[in-house]
Chains A and B, each alone.
Chain A
Amino acid sequence: MVRFLLLFCSVLAALFAIEMLKPVQEAVIQPFTGLLASISTAIIVPFDDAVIAQGRVLRDATSGFAVSIEAGCNGVEAAIVLIAGVVAFPATLKNKLVAIVAGFFFVQALNIVRIISLFYLGQWNYTVFEWFHLYLWPVLIMLDVLIVFAVYLRWLGKAQPAEEAPC
């Protein structure tokens, strides 16, 4: 437990520091955030063709309402928590990689739901938008991370030992 916590905190701090580096922001985080806006737009457009993505901004051409996906809104912090947990827990490299890729996908899938919901909540009622944006969605994303990690632990426990056994 202590080993897990120490390793978890170390990996968390290291990944956070790396994420904050300017070259990483420019080469990875900002393009990724733009990609999230594009994916969100691609999902919305078949139902609402007034929506356009401009970089990290999702805009409704009719009402003019827009949401900008900023640091802290791109799900990267939540993914870093998950990665730190997976890395700190003893498992084979293959299992860790599977967990990181699948976990990242699940966190970002919920994050896209969050972005789309906020886009429409903001057009409906700004107070409700603020509530969801500032208080409820961060909690739901962290619960998602927790669920993914719990599922990972259960999956590790049930994984067939034959998979790892020498031939």
Chain B
Amino acid sequence: MRRQFVLTLALMPITFGLWYAAGTLFAGPAVWLCDVILSGAYPGVIDDIGLQGLKLVAITQFGDLDGQLMRAQDAGNQIALQINTRLVSYSIAFYAALLLASNLKDGVYKFCVGLAWLWITMAFGLASIIGKDLLMMVGSPFLQAPGVPPADVLALTYQFNVLLMPTLAPVFIWFWQLRGSPLWEALEADIKRASARA
């Protein structure tokens, strides 16, 4: 296990460098999934979602008229939100470091599977950031829109999906994919010994 942690730390500069260089490559599928989630969850809130460089741009159905926020058709304009996709996509760099450090069999296949799962968690993360931004910026008209949950739920999902999942999801996926590996067997022996003493 010590080797795993040391190697993870040693590999992080490489995986984070590659993730940074890849730019939008890792964000695209998550943005598309986020569009699907929000179209279903908030049908009357988001008009369109796209990727501009590294930023997710969400065109809302709210507008601003003389400093007053209202429905876009009444305001005659639409508020757009810009979100840095790296706020959630760094989970990929972390996951890659964990996986590479374990030197698992079928590593590339496992990485692809893990990446697909991470895109799903990233999509929920981006959707939660949009929800939080709309809550802070638009407030009441957003909360009154159909399908929008109470403010507390929005805050909780933001905490969970944005502050926690980008680091917890890679650990879960990596741990699940460890099964059958020599590292897993060593860990399993530790777990069995620990459980037996309980």
B107 to chain A, nearest CB (A): 20
A23 within 8 Å of B (CB atoms): no
A19: chain B residues within 8 A (beta carbon): 159
Segment of A32-40, A106-114, A136-144 in the binding face:
A136-144
Contact with A along B70-97 (1 / 0, CB 8 A): 0000000000000000110010011000
Asked if B193 and A72 sit within 8 Å, CB to CB, the answer is: no
Main secondary structure of the interface of A (DSSP, over half): helix
Partner of A134, one of B1, B87, B156, B189: B87
Segment of B47-55, B138-146, B165-173 in the binding face:
B165-173
In the complex, how many residues of chain A place their beta carbon closer than 8 angstroms to a beta carbon of chain B? 33
Asked if A143 and B9 sit within 8 Å, CB to CB, the answer is: yes
Query: Cα distance A159–B195 when bound, in Å?
Result: 11
In the complex, how many residues of chain B place their beta carbon closer than 8 angstroms to a beta carbon of chain A? 31
Question: Restricting to B122-169, which residues have a CB under 8 Å from any CB of A?
Answer: 152, 155-156, 159-160, 163-164, 166-168
Main secondary structure of the interface of B (DSSP, over half): helix
B197 to chain A, nearest CB (A): 6
Asked if B159 and A72 sit within 8 Å, CB to CB, the answer is: yes
A91 within 8 Å of B (CB atoms): yes
B8: chain A residues within 8 A (beta carbon): 143
B164: chain A residues within 8 A (beta carbon): 16, 77, 81
Asked if B159 and A20 sit within 8 Å, CB to CB, the answer is: yes
Segment of A49-57, A61-69, A115-123, A149-157 in the binding face:
A149-157
A154: chain B residues within 8 A (beta carbon): 1, 190, 194
B194: chain A residues within 8 A (beta carbon): 89-91, 153-154, 156-157
Which residues of B approach A to under 8 Å, CB–CB? 1, 5, 8-9, 12, 16, 86-87, 90, 93-94, 152, 155-156, 159-160, 163-164, 166-168, 171, 187, 189-191, 193-195, 197-198
Closest 4 CB pairs of A and B: A157-B193, A156-B194, A142-B167, A90-B198
What are 25 A-B contacts defined by CB distance under 8 Å? A13-B160, A16-B164, A20-B155, A20-B156, A20-B159, A72-B159, A77-B164, A81-B164, A90-B195, A90-B198, A135-B16, A135-B93, A136-B12, A139-B93, A139-B167, A142-B171, A143-B9, A146-B171, A150-B190, A153-B187, A154-B194, A156-B194, A156-B197, A161-B197, A164-B197
Known: A20-B156, A134-B86, A139-B94. 5 other contacts (CB 8 A): A92-B198, A139-B167, A142-B171, A146-B171, A161-B197
